[in-house]
Amino acid sequence: MRQNADLGTPHLSRYSPMTELDFAAGHVFFRPGDPAGRAYRLLAGEVEVLAGPPDRAVRVGLFGPGDVFGEMALVEERPRAATARATTAGRAAAMSREEFEQLLTTDPVGARRYLCSLFERLRSLSAQVAGEIALADDPAGEWVALGTAAGLPELPTPAGHATGWAAVLHPLTRKAAQTLPDEGLRVARFPFRIGRASDAHEPEALDLNDLWLLDAIPFNVSRNHCELVAGRGGVSVRDRGSHLGCVVNETPVGGRSGTASAPLHLGDNVLVVGSRSSPYQFRVSVAPI
C-alpha cells in the first residue's frame, strides 16, 4: 500500500470492521472545528496533539503505536477542538462510531483499547466537573474550540522534537528504585499514567498505565492512580480517581484533598504516590525541550 509522498495523502483500504491508512509526516488528522467522525489507533509512527492559538500552538500530547486518540468521536458528535498531526510517517486504524458499536457486540476484546481510552477520558471529565482542571489543558485531544489550525508551526528537524516539555523520574526510596532504571526514567510523551499492577487475586481491569507499581496490602497505590500531563504552562500531576491521592511538593492532590491537580516547577519536584508515608516517592525533574 503506497501513499503520496509529496502531499501526505492517506491511502485507504477497507477491511472489516475498520479502515487502515498510511500517512506521511505532517499529515493532519483533524483540526479544531472538524466533525468528530472517527477515532484512531496507531499501528506505527507518532502523532502529536497541539493546543493553543495557531501562532502559539503547543504540543500537549504525543502518541505512539498502540495508542488511541480522538476517541470521543465514538460517543459524541461535538466538533474537534484540537489538532492531531503526524510527526513521522506511519499507519493507523480508523474506527467510526457505528463500527465501534458493532465491535462491542461481535469482538469485545478488539474494542478493549478504545474502551480503555474512553475510561481515561471519563476520569478526566470527573476531575473537570470538580472544577480543578481547565478543559483547555486536557492532553487527551478534545479541548474547547481554539479557532482554525491554519498557520500551524512547521514540523521541526528532526521530526518529533517540537517545543514542549520533558520530565525525568528519579527514585527517592528503595521501593521506587525497584521500578526505575538507575539513570532515571525520561518522560517526553504525555499523558504519562501511573498505577498499581494487579495482583494474582484481582481480575484484569481496563487499566491503561505507563508505569506499573507493585504494591502490597494495605495499598498506597490505586489501579489508576495519577498521571503527568503537559499543557501550555508546563507539566502537572493530575489525579485519576485514586483512593489516597498524591503529595506534590508538600501539596495533597486527589483522594480527599479536594484538589485534582498540581503544577510541577521547572527543575526538581517531589512526588509521593499515595499517603505521605508511601514507599513510592520520586524526584521529578522538569525541563522544556
Q: Residue 175 belongs to what domain range?
A: 165-288
Three cell numbers, residue 9: 495523502
| pLDDT surpasses 90 at 249 | yes
In this structure, the answer to whether residues 178 and 115 fall within a common structural domain is no
Three cell numbers, residue 70: 480522538
Mean pLDDT, the chain, rounded, equals 79
Looking up cell 495519577 gives: 226
**2 part of a folded domain:** no
Q: What percent of the chain has pLDDT over 90?
A: 43
| pLDDT surpasses 90 at 213 | yes
Q: What angle do CA 279, 248, 289 make, to 5 degrees?
A: 110
Residue 45 backbone dihedrals phi, psi, to 5 degrees: 90, -175
pLDDT at 12: 38
**152 part of a folded domain:** no
| pLDDT surpasses 90 at 179 | yes
Residue partners of 272: CB distance under 8 A and separation at least 6: 246, 247, 248, 278, 280, 281, 282
Q: What is the pLDDT of residues 107-117, one digit of tens each?
A: 877 777 777 77
Which has more confidence, 148 or 107?
Answer: 107
**150 part of a folded domain:** no
Q: Please count the structural domains in the chain.
A: 2
- Taking alpha carbons only, the member of 145, 120, 188, 156 closest to residue 26 is 156
| pLDDT surpasses 70 at 222 | yes
Report the b/e string of 3-32 with b at 16+ CB within 10 A: beeeebebeeeeeebbbbbbbbbbbbbbbb
In this structure, the answer to whether residues 133 and 170 fall within a common structural domain is no
Q: Which pTM was predicted?
A: 0.61
pLDDT at 77: 83
**What average pLDDT does the segment 223-251 reach?**
91
Residue partners of 191: CB distance under 8 A and separation at least 6: 61, 120, 139, 140, 227, 228, 229, 230, 238
pLDDT at 74: 86
**What average pLDDT does the segment 26-31 reach?**
94
In this structure, the answer to whether residues 119 and 177 fall within a common structural domain is no
Which has more confidence, 106 or 177?
Answer: 177
pLDDT at 189: 85
In this structure, the answer to whether residues 200 and 118 fall within a common structural domain is no
pLDDT at 125: 62
**34 part of a folded domain:** yes
CA distances 50 to 82, 126, 195, 226, 240, Å, are: 6, 23, 26, 22, 22
In this structure, the answer to whether residues 24 and 96 fall within a common structural domain is yes
CATH number at residue 37: 2.60.120.10
In this structure, the answer to whether residues 124 and 188 fall within a common structural domain is no
| pLDDT surpasses 80 at 128 | no
**32 part of a folded domain:** yes
Segment of 21-30, 112-121, 138-147, 162-171 carrying the highest mean pLDDT: 21-30
**What average pLDDT does the segment 132-138 reach?**
41
**What average pLDDT does the segment 226-245 reach?**
90
Chain length of the chain: 289
Which has more confidence, 62 or 14?
Answer: 62
